[in-house]
A and B are shown apart, each in its own frame.
With several copies, the nearest count.
Chain A
């Protein structure tokens, strides 16, 4: 047992750190550190920089052009990116669909789709959720009927994050209604420029356009875009879910945001004195700090087990629950720190370089919006209620 990283791991970290700090555009880092609005261009610029280095698919094995890092190296990369103020890598391409294509796709599909994902050129979206299916994902209804060498897709997806930028979308579609809901689902890759696709924005309660509805009206999809076998899509979707284990906790971002919380609590004043010196508020931060350390230790335990090739600890559901609760808590505390100065809603004040007068200070502008936005984290990706079901199931055995 040893808490410290090995010399090799530390050398790796230094290498990554140096490279990230040298290549992450400062205007983007500024936005991330101050929670200002990121544009499509910001996200894609960073994706392309990573892609050029071969790190956009940082979790990929070498055979598919990835760096072939182990679990600890991946974690260190994520940490360095987070602490430097890099935007989160939009996961739908490199983290979600790519591993499925690698594992179940044809060599032709590998050649066709993976390079564009690694380079950051092709923007992927996820088409899982539907209006009627929430926690009950298997109840999805979007149909794909095989007609010759094509599928004809009809239906509707929703909560498609950043789908307004999407070039391609990977979808779970129903190809068979005869058996159990899980058995008739297929995994389809769909060009979003296909006729019959309409993307409609969903505005969230913070006023942002982050998610979308995607409508499919007799959309023709070449049969070669089917991944794996027809009606086996549920298996692939579960594989995808199991693939992402630790980053789900987002503990690196939590560490960065805790630092921001402390900066805010130093800048804000209560009765003329720095808020961070107010024992009551300070203790809230201390509790959060303990929570983050505990979460990080849990993540490190998983990484150590994974790197060792041992049976991974089955705590992905716990990491999702705790990670999302902590995300919500730090956004809540930042908002509470600003107090009345978190109340104004000035849409433009969340743009970098806004020339208007901030109410209070620049750091106050996005706090409430982010707090509202973060309510999603305990809902999406399998709600925390579903996660608790999973933990109970594993623990009780029934």
Chain B
């Protein structure tokens, strides 16, 4: 049992932190938001830092690092509320490709991801599913050795600019059956693919994506499709947890600083006990969140059922922490907290987006409830 970061991990953290603080300040971020929410330039800079290949196997030009390194990077990107979909491409889609892609598929995509020249993202959200992953209406059929996909996916990260999508689609069964879901790769340029891009609440980029008889490459068959999807979602949630910890850490620091600076009734408002206790409660939520972010990351390698339960436990804590720290940061700032020109609100909006993604708090509490064992605890 050891919660120290290695020297290499600390160096990685420093490199990302330095880039964020030097190259990704509030002003640049604001400009990226204005120009659509995704910057190829910033993406290129992150690639130059070597981040894109972090989780790509060495055989494909990456570094083959594990979840802890991913967590370190995500914390720092979260600290800077970086808009670019690093987790979506370099952790989530990469994990899916590496686990389920054929040698051919891997060679075609992983090196390009590692060098930052390809954007591949998971496209799974469906309109009537909400947070239920097995609810897949999108259908795939095979004819003459060619799979084709029909359906629509929502809120796909950089969906109007991605090169390819990983698409869960149903080959058999009713819409909400666990069986019968397969995983496909569909290129954006393929026939019948249409996208409609927009900004998200935190300023990042997403799109609606629809498929009409679009040719697709099978990655995981109906026996594995749901598991593949769940595994990718768990990678995404663990990454989100770390991202949220970074964002909360920074927002909390901003808030503490404000409390020590802002004066009312002739004294810094940080001297008022009611606000001080709020600070203590925020610190509590932050440290509980950090603890559960570690937990999520360190449990990613567990067997399916244990991993799913641990990830849901983590998302419950993170969801509660994000909401509390976010809301209270705004409250403690007072008026300036609700303005667009001040930075705190942007952290708050980002944290809200994270809470709503990949299953909200109540959803994951339900997952924990359903997976309850007689024993409990980290090692249960």
Q: Within 8 Å of chain B (Cβ to Cβ): is A322?
A: yes
Contact in complex: B288, A322 (CB < 8 Å): yes
Name the interface size band of chain A: 35 or more
**Interface residue tally on B, bucketed by range:** 35 or more
Give the residue of A1, A293, A296, A335 whose beta carbon is less than 8 angstroms from that of B356. Answer: A335
Residue of B nearest to A392 (CB): B276
The stretch of A41-49, A184-192, A229-237, A302-310 in contact with B is A302-310
Looking at A5, A134, A297, which has the most chain B CB atoms within 10 Å of its CB?
Answer: A297
Are A342's CB and B3's CB within 8 A? no
A398 touches B317 (CB 8 A): no
Interface residues in B342-357 (C-beta closer than 8 Å to A) = 345-346, 348-349, 352-353, 356-357
Residue in A closest to B353 when the chains form the complex, CB atoms:
A343
The residue of chain A having its C-beta at the shortest distance from the C-beta of B71 within the complex is A1
Interface positions of B from 266 to 300, Cβ below 8 Å from A: 268, 270-277, 279-281, 283-284, 287-288, 291-292, 294-295, 297-299
Q: How far is the CB of A321 from chain B (nearest CB, A)?
A: 7
Assembly CA distance A321 to B282 (angstroms) = 13
Complex CA–CA separation, A324 to B337 (angstroms)? 17
A113 at the interface (CB under 8 A from B): no
Contact call A397/B334, Cβ cutoff below 8 A: no
Confirm or deny: A346 has a beta carbon within 8 angstroms of a beta carbon on chain B. yes
Cβ of B3 and Cβ of A280 under 8 Å apart?
Answer: no
Is A375 interfacial (CB 8 A cutoff)?
Answer: yes
Contact with A along B108-136 (1 / 0, CB 8 A): 00000000000000000101111110110
Q: Does B14 belong to the interface (CB within 8 Å)?
A: no
Chain A contacts with B in 190-222, Cβ cutoff 8 A? 202-205, 207
Cβ-based interface call for A379 (8 A): yes
Listed residue (A279, A344, A392) with the most chain B CB atoms within 10 angstroms of its CB: A392
Closest to B345 in A: A205
- Does B104 have its Cβ within 8 Å of any Cβ on chain A? no
A2 touches B1 (CB 8 A): yes
Task: Note all chain A residues with C-beta closer than 8 A to B313.
Answer: 289-290, 293-294
B229 at the interface (CB under 8 A from A): no
Assess whether A376 is interfacial by the CB under 8 Å rule: yes
Q: Which residues in chain A, 95-119, are within 8 Å of chain B measured between CB atoms?
A: none
CB neighbors of B among A365-382 (8 A): 368-369, 371-373, 375-376, 378-380
Q: Which are the 4 A-B pairs with shortest beta-carbon distances?
A: A205-B345, A271-B132, A297-B291, A392-B276
Report which A residues bind B (CB closer than 8 A).
Answer: 1-6, 9, 72, 129, 133-136, 139, 158-159, 202-205, 207, 251, 255, 258-259, 262, 268-272, 275, 279-287, 289-298, 300-301, 303-305, 308, 310, 315, 317-318, 321-322, 335-336, 339-346, 357, 359-360, 368-369, 371-373, 375-376, 378-380, 383-385, 387-389, 391-393, 395-398
Binding site for A on B (CB under 8 A): 1-6, 9, 68, 125, 127-132, 134-135, 154-155, 175-176, 196, 198-201, 203, 206, 208, 256, 259-260, 264-265, 268, 270-277, 279-281, 283-284, 287-288, 291-292, 294-295, 297-299, 313, 316-317, 327, 330-331, 334-335, 337-341, 345-346, 348-349, 352-353, 356-357, 360, 362, 365-366, 368-369, 372, 374-378, 380
Known: A317-B280, A372-B338. 5 other contacts (CB 8 A): A1-B3, A135-B265, A136-B264, A342-B201, A395-B280
In the complex, 27 of the A-B residue pairs with CB atoms within 8 angstroms, ordered by the A residue number, are A4-B1, A5-B1, A158-B335, A203-B339, A251-B377, A258-B376, A259-B374, A269-B127, A279-B369, A280-B362, A289-B368, A293-B292, A293-B378, A294-B288, A301-B3, A301-B294, A304-B4, A321-B284, A336-B360, A341-B154, A343-B200, A345-B200, A345-B201, A372-B338, A379-B335, A384-B331, A396-B270
